[in-house]
Structure 1
């Protein structure tokens, strides 16, 4: 699997957050926001916003004198044998928060070993997950998740995928022509969510935003029943705005 030469949908705030965490980690007894500003070069306004996010996610904590120290979430992620479970729990907690905030089922997916993989889902009675009536691995051409992941691959990797998973017509809206599909993927802006308007399943609309961390293609997605289709654009925008904590967890 080959990614495009330039990663899609960069989140500069995640890179800044990692710099802040590195600085906090170097100061075991705590470090003030003024010192963090000096060591990272970040403007005070941007730093304040990042610190609020990092505190909310449990990556840093503020002690009595106002200094910042490493938080419980970051300590768990660095604890060796429990790291994988801690990361999954951290991601699930973040996905659950997104589900409740946006009011939609939320999915974390990757493209690994030539296949689409939905790794974690946050759904509930009021936010049901999409019915996987066709295996997601075989329907990348039709789903928001699949198109978002394919859009992060180079041309040869896409063709390889479709040679193994032929583009079948799942609904009247499904694109099955490879040339048209690739053209749409190439025209897709990395800053605009990928949409599925009943292309995978009648009665369901979806949106996905890319999460590119290193050499791994991933995405964050949501689904809504067709009666809530009027909320899709605003929900997709909210998903994009709130994706940074998920990417940060993946980058740690």
Structure 2
């Protein structure tokens, strides 16, 4: 095991050395910068090249496709961590589960959720993507779309009852969504899940429709206006970190 760990460490030092040279570098220079004997460096460079982490071009080594995928994956993970940290901040500030969602490629996508055992998130018992007409997240996102994009969504995901409180008449739903103020919160009461009330606020995230939402048990409905106001007041300071989610 120590030998294996040492080999991995040496390989990583070589990758770091290659990554510091945009135009690539020869084996001798990389061995020197990584503090490795030349034969060891040659062996590791050949292995890394064979596995796709490096490419040899004109006598120099440059990062390969596999290394670039690692870099992209690391960036995506960093973004996800920033989003979850932000959501946890909002969750603690409002004392309720917090959701962040976007409308991307014609579908509703919940990017992140933060809750606690004492305040659990709403159970996704019916697919969020297909029931946008029934929950505050979907209604808020659909309200930010133009009529053509909204019609495309409903053509693929027809309006139907989810609970006895769901607005299941398409004309009534369109009137409701069309009446939303540009930056006003959207609320729904037991339309998606019995015993639960939700509210969502629109988020400016470039050209992408986005929203943050909260949910509460029905018996705590009186707290909803305060929680929404608190969420809106907190969002601005951390909006820059939330915008990372758009590229995930």
Normalising by structure 1, report the TM-score: 0.66
Deviations 1:205-235 (A, max 9, x none): 0000111211211100011111111101111
- Pairwise CA distance, 1:80: 6.8
- Pairwise CA distance, 1:247: 2.3
Structure 2: gaps of 5 or more residues: 1-70
- Pairwise CA distance, 1:245: 3.5
Contact 1:106/1:223 (CA < 8 Å) preserved in 2? yes
Distance, in Å, in 1 between the alignment partners of 2:96 and 2:222 is: 13
- Pairwise CA distance, 1:165: 0.6
1:140 aligns with 2:100: no
1:229 aligns with 2:221: yes
| Structure with the higher helix share, 1 or 2 | 2
Distance, in Å, in 2 between the alignment partners of 1:87 and 1:175 is: 36
Distance, in Å, in 1 between the alignment partners of 2:202 and 2:158 is: 23
Deviation >3 Å, runs of 4+: 79-82
Partner SS state of residue 119, structure 2: coil
In structure 2, the residue matched to 1:215 is 207
Equivalent of 2:95, from 77, 84, 103?
Answer: 103
Partner SS state of residue 236, structure 1: helix
In structure 1, the residue matched to 2:188 is 196
Normalising by structure 2, report the TM-score: 0.67
**Do the aligned partners of residues 228 and 113 (structure 1) sit closer, same or farther apart at CA in structure 2, a change above 3 Å counting?**
same
Contact 1:140/1:147 (CA < 8 Å) preserved in 2? yes
Partner SS state of residue 204, structure 2: coil
Which moves more between the two structures, 187-196 or 116-125?
A: 187-196
1:176 aligns with 2:163: no
Deviations 1:67-89 (A, max 9, x none): xxxxxxxxxxxx97633222211
In structure 1, the residue matched to 2:144 is 152
RCO comparison, higher one (Cα < 8 Å, 6+): 1
